[in-house]
Chains A and B, each alone.
Chain A
């Protein structure tokens, strides 16, 4: 492992670090050619306008040669509409939808490493059970829990675990799919 240094504080839930909390989270679903440079082109559409990508999930789509990107971002409506239009304009982008107001199912997964010793373990596991977490690792001083669900549920679980001390947190970012026959 190569490290540039040690971060003083442990990871905190991302909900506490939002840069533009005034705006609701938008979820864009972008179908792209699976080629080098596509992610950089899309990232530039955001960065040149000073918008931050809050979450990003990229994986191959059902059709060979294409990838699906699910991007979470905050910002004013007009700015995000322009970003959507500029993403769609990219030659490597096949489709680009903002699913914020659509009927979609959205899920996220998080791995949470919690600092618990034998004394606190019982309570931590009780909370974990309530949130339907899986215990992936159990060590004398820590637990690794996996939680899935919508982003609000993850936020709540992470909030509950905060008092034990969260050593590390990895969230996948939200993926969405439209309900019924509609295309994502």
Chain B
């Protein structure tokens, strides 16, 4: 049989499909024309979703990947199209999210000549991708596409960019679709071998420990290590705290769960970190949000660090035992040797902290974000997929959402990207059409990507956009109140639109919550509404602060449970 002649663009789509890509988010433009044409001619089943801004497309692909564990692709044009993906690529890179970003590019003979819509996106994105390609030959497309998907999804996942000049996507490709990858410098398979001596050392350390603590990070999630983690915690009776991105890898309603640790984590999780004698970190990169002042972190504890990425070892914290490996494989091997530990006293101490320092809020005094998020958690029985932006709403959502299962908590952790939550929810809902997806956003972040209301309406995704509207950039205002003598600067979001009318003008359903008494009634209605996206504008109190709080760069033991009466020193950490 003679193969149909195909061009580079058709080859690209066929190879993406063969590599498991089912969905592509993007925005068209001149240099990507051949690829957009191939969406019509290549005969693949890849679904294309037109966003309203390239940043939104990247966050949609990101949300899809975080909700399903499968990578999605992003397709944009050259120059500004590619430039608009930067925030989305950076967000995915910081949180180790697989993503294939395809950008159109000027024809090869115009590269470097400041041609129309030419930007060196290969160079611009270099520090924020796992790897990237500038394709110079149509026949390289099958190999490069296969390598890109392999790189994005294996080892420590991450975004991979493929920049394709127009003459390359338009040119004939005669190379076979299936080809060998050529990556002599990439060996993720080594993460699946565990040294038995390391396991023996862990067992010895466990036996000597009276107050062990597991820290579950995003790496445990990405490795699908939930069952192994549960077995370790339950068999040895070890309490578990998680990072922001590790939320849900261990059921937060489980008696051994301490919830999230860190800057705005639970007091009992942070107290556990201060008092543990054995910190077992499974797939967290010891981010500055969780360790605070590095030299005081776990200073009386032995530290075990399990991570798939060797460059994470010694980066923030020098562990006593380093295990470079896939969390699932390491835990499965470890679980063959574990015995129950005597941790009754330790657990009793922590239970005491749970009772003494619970997460709480006052229902009186106006409409509170915490109250709304608490009711959301109750009405959804902690089973909804929650996406967030960054800020106060994110931290309160992390506190009051009791994630029971992995892949349900979708938040921009490392990058702290405003405008992430809403488009991420669209992507998440497209990957999980049968689940309840709620975008918890602030009025600031939502306005950064609200143009995607059109996308959400057209795709008929029944996401609930919970706009926690305090007419402020709340977290920055909180810092100004606590550390800058309440001099508010650049945080007043005067001029917010009427969000309900805005949603309605796009054809979405709008709800309003103005009083605590409305919360349950309106949320129930919103949760029942499934014909498309709906927006719930919540007029929350303007000035409220997230506690507990560890000022940036301070030690975990210096945690603040409530607003201090005295003036506080400016934090030494950056943000």
**A residues with CB within 8 A of B:** 32-33, 36-37, 40-41, 44, 48, 66, 78, 81-82, 85-86, 88-94
Minimum distance in angstroms from B330 CB to a CB of chain A: 19
Interface 0/1 of B302-321, CB less than 8 Å to A: 00000001110111000000
8 Å CB interface, B169-209 against A: 183-186
Q: Is B568 an interface residue (CB 8 A)?
A: no
B134 at the binding interface (Cβ < 8 Å):
yes
7 contacts between A and B (CB under 8 A): A40-B123, A44-B126, A44-B127, A66-B184, A78-B314, A85-B315, A91-B186
In the complex with contacts A36-B134, A44-B126, A85-B311 CB distance below 8 A: yes
Q: Which residues from B are CB-within-8-Å of A86?
A: 311
Q: Does B14 contact A (CB under 8 A)?
A: no
Separation of A81 and B134 alpha carbons in the complex (Å): 30
A40 contact set on B, CB distance < 8 A? 123, 126
CB distance from B208 to the nearest CB of A (A): 28
Give CA–CA (A33, B131) in the complex, Å: 13
CB of A61, distance to nearest CB on chain B (Å): 12
Q: For residue A109, give the distance in angstroms from its CB to the closest CB of chain B.
A: 29
Per-residue CB contact flags for chain B residues 3-16 toward chain A (1 = under 8 Å, else 0) read 00000000000000
Docked-complex contact B310 and A88, CB < 8 angstroms? yes
Residues of chain A lying within 8 A (CB to CB) of residue B315: 82, 85
The smallest beta-carbon distance between B73 and chain A, in angstroms, is 19
Query: Residue B127 contacts which of A36, A48, A91 (CB distance < 8 angstroms)?
Result: A48
Complex interface: chain A residues within 8 A of B479 (CB): none
Footprint of A on B, CB under 8 Å? Answer: 122-123, 126-127, 130-132, 134, 151, 183-186, 309-311, 313-315
- With both beta carbons as reference points, the residue of chain B lying nearest to A63 in the complex is identified as B184
Interface Cβ pair total, 8 Å cutoff: 43
B-side contacts of A78, CB under 8 Å: 314
Which of A81, A82, A90 is close to B185, meaning CB atoms less than 8 Å apart?
A90
Bound Cα distance from A44 to B129, whole angstroms: 12
**Contact between chains at B122 and A37 (CB < 8 Å):** yes
Are B185's CB and A93's CB within 8 A?
A: yes
Q: Which residue of A lies closest to B313 (CB)?
A: A85
Provide the bound-state CA to CA distance between A94 and B187, in Å: 10
| C-alpha spacing A123/B134, complex, angstroms | 55
Complex Cα gap A66–B182 (Å): 13
Q: Assuming A36-B134, A88-B311, A89-B309, is B122 touching A94 (CB within 8 A)?
A: no
Closest to A32 in B: B185
The answer to whether B310 and A85 have CB atoms under 8 Å apart is yes
A37 near B314: Cβ-Cβ < 8 Å: no
Residues of A within 8 A of B184 (CB): 33, 66, 94
CB distance from B133 to the nearest CB of A (A): 9
A48 to B122 alpha-carbon distance, docked (Å) = 17
Q: Which residue of B lies closest to A95 (CB)?
A: B185
Residues on A with beta carbons closer than 8 Å to the beta carbon of B134: 36-37
With CB as the reference atom, state the residue of chain B lying closest to A87.
B311
Q: How far is the CB of A84 from chain B (nearest CB, A)?
A: 9
Across the interface, name the chain B residue whose C-beta is closest to A81. B314
**Closest Cβ neighbor of A86 among chain B residues:** B311
Which residue of the partner chain A has the closest CB to B186? A91
> 14 more A-B contacts (CB under 8 A) besides A37-B122, A78-B314, A91-B186?
A33-B184, A33-B185, A37-B123, A37-B132, A40-B126, A41-B126, A82-B315, A86-B311, A88-B311, A89-B310, A89-B311, A91-B151, A91-B183, A91-B185
CB closest residue in chain A, given B311: A85
Could you tell me the distance between the alpha carbons of A91 and B132 in the complex, rounded to whole angstroms?
A: 9
Question: Measured between C-beta atoms, what is the minimum distance from B145 to chain A in Å?
Answer: 15
Bound Cα distance A90, B132 (Å): 11
Please report the C-alpha to C-alpha distance between residue A177 and residue B186 in the assembled complex, in whole angstroms: 24
Question: Top 6 A-B pairs ranked by shortest CB distance?
Answer: A85-B311, A91-B131, A94-B185, A89-B311, A91-B186, A93-B185
